[in-house]
Structure 1
Amino acid sequence: MKKMLFPIVLLFVLLISACGNKASEDTNDAADTPKETASDTVTYESETGPVEVPAHPKRVVLLSGFTGNVISLGVPVVGVDTWSKNNPTFKDELKDVAEISDENSEKIIELDPDLIIGLSNIKNIDQLQKIAPTVTYTWGKLDYLEQHIEIGKLLGKEQEARDWVDDFQKRAQAIGDEVRTKIGENATVSVFEIYDKELYVFGDNWARGTEILYQTMKLKMPEKVKEMALESGYYTVSTEVIPEFAGDYIVMSKYAEADTSFEQTETYKNIPAVKNNHVFTMEGNGASFSDPVTLENQLAFFKESFLGK
């Protein structure tokens, strides 16, 4: 009887041992398999180096524009600079958003931001970095469409940004083709702005629709504008020399309180673009932005002005 039980007991022990070894192997395999964990932050490669930022920011503070970029991507904004707050383009979107400044850290702290965005020349950046991850951009380092894609990367919305850029380029280029067909391939366009008592003319990357007109629609710039404003971005013009900078068509960015007395001078009235009713006036307040919201409005304005549709 004992001889019969021994093989049965031995078999039972071997089975238990085998099961134990299998469990141990499963445990070790599980330990070797990395766990997928959702991170709340990502590393963004900024101009100044890597910055840990929220993967999906919910309370963004903007200190130097870029407001329309963030708004267009559906990311919540809790504080903006004075120029953005007073921009009529964003009136509805910023109705309940606080106006802040890089010189008032206390007010920014109260807003409890999870991300701060601004230009590279903002003040008190060391203090701002202690409040929330802070990312800055140098004006003009990226073109106006690349800038939007870069902000899309920062906000975890790169694909949405790229989709808009691709679509906008196609539409703007098509409108540009129509405009050049209508006004002639060699017709020139100048972009002026009257602010306070100063009159400026702009190159091809200083907002006011210049990026759309010159870079994407491929309209031509007068030689004098190219000489004086292309590299610097803008140039201050006196009333006497306006005709030297005036193209066959003029886009005039005008602030409501600006001194427009130059428009009453014979020098201005005798400019061919003025005599031919080829001056298109746009609202100055808000024209200095180059974000998707502003660009869409400007493209519609140019389409209506040049093509009447």
Structure 2
Amino acid sequence: MKKVYIPFLFIMLLIMSACNSTPAKESQATTITYQSENGPVVVPADPKRVVVLSSFAGNVMSLNVNLVGVDTWTMKNPRFKDKLTNVAEVSDENIEKIIELNPDLIIGLSNVKNVEKLKAIAPTVTYTYGKVDYLTQHVEIGKLLNKEKEAQAWVDDFKQRAQKAGTDIKAKIGEDATVSVIENFDKQLYVYGDNWGRGTEILYQEMKLKMPEKVKEMALKDGYYALSLEVLPQYAGDYIIFSKNKEATVAFQETNTYKNIPAVKNNKVFEANMMEFYFNDPLTLELQLDFFIKSFLGKK
């Protein structure tokens, strides 16, 4: 009896052990393969220490993934200040500092420097700005961070809310009313097309508001166009979104040329903080959408 019982018990224990260990092995997958624009890259399935060298920190933060290093422009964004308390400021030229941060994933634009050195530190994925639209870009970063479902859910909800707001705004200002987005930066004025941050994606792509013909002619292809104060009236819409750089000169606002623009005379210029308005990540897009709803519709 013992000769039959002992082997049987031993076999049952082995089977139970194997069954119990299978889910554990499956749940311990530590990497995924992300199909980047430069080919497949093996990245952490659950990244814990991410460095972002350009543009995409807000995408990462919106998906609740931990950052350890970000670029200078991101660090200057007052909207991100509380979220970046323990995050270091880095650049693609400060390799030693990035090494010290011990990142498990590095993200940047395709024009970052020292990319081969960065790849030697951690898996590195870069994106060409504008290669995909701004919402697809967020979904791509969601895929990279193994959070595609969360990214897609936000995109679907945001599009619905932005388009609804656009319908309400057009009902108030008229279907043919035009909107310009301008910015003062480094002693220069710029006007923007439909895919260069500053809320342009929301205004023109989602809300379908119209841009002046002159803006369409000069800024739509490249995304932006530098212009002088003298010709600014030609690019001014019925409404102006002014992404205002408070650190740069705004003396042009005291000129007769500016004051006589119809949108200025009619109090249809809405000023935003350039440093908050700069990007097109989910955190910034939520700020921009809220700003447009309040500015155009007077809602709080």
TM-score normalised by L of structure 2: 0.92
Matched, 1:219 2:209: yes
The residue type equivalent to 1:232 in the other structure is D
| Aligned-residue offset at 1:35 | 5.0
CA deviation digits over 1:212-253, x for unaligned, max 9? Answer: 000001100100000000001000010110111000000001
Q: Shift of the alpha carbon at 1:293?
A: 0.6
Structure 2, unpaired ranges of 5+: none
Q: Give the equivalent residue in structure 2 for 1:208.
A: 198
Equivalent of 2:83, from 72, 77, 93? 93
Letter in 1 for 2:219: A
- 1:62 equivalent among 47, 52, 72: 52
Q: Distance in 2 between matches of 1:125 and 1:116?
A: 10
Q: Please, which of 235, 241, 253 is the counterpart of residue 243 of structure 2?
A: 253
Q: CA deviation at 1:142?
A: 1.2
Q: Distance in 1 between matches of 2:22 and 2:253?
A: 70
- Count of matched residue pairs: 295
1:287 paired with 2:280, answer no
Provide the residue aligned with 2:179 in structure 1: 189
Cα RMSD (Å) of the superposition? 2.5
Question: Counterparts of 2:187 and 2:97 in 1: how far apart (Å)?
Answer: 34
| Paired amino acid for 1:158 | E
Alignment of 1:65-214 (within 5 A): 65-214=55-204
Report the CA distance between 1:259 and its aligned residue: 1.4
State which of 35, 38, 48 in structure 1 corresponds to 2:38. Answer: 48
In structure 2, distance between residues paired with 1:176 and 1:42: 39
Q: Secondary structure at 1:286's aligned position in 2?
A: helix
% of aligned pairs identical?
64
Alignment partners' CA distance in 2, 1:159 and 1:167: 12
> Any residues of structure 2 matched to 1:11-50 within 5 Å, and which?
37=25, 38-50=28-40
Which amino acid in structure 1 is aligned with residue 189 of structure 2? Answer: L
Output the amino acid matched with 1:198.
Q
Q: Who is 1:240 aligned against?
A: 230
Give me the whole-angstrom Cα distance separating, in 2, the residues matched to 1:188 and 1:104.
44
CA distance in 1, matches of 2:95, 2:232: 44
Instruction: Give every structure 1 segment of 4 or more consecutive aligned residues whose post-TM-superposition deviation is greater than 6 Å.
Output: none
Q: Which has the larger radius of gyration?
A: 1
Distance 1:262 1:107 in 2: 41
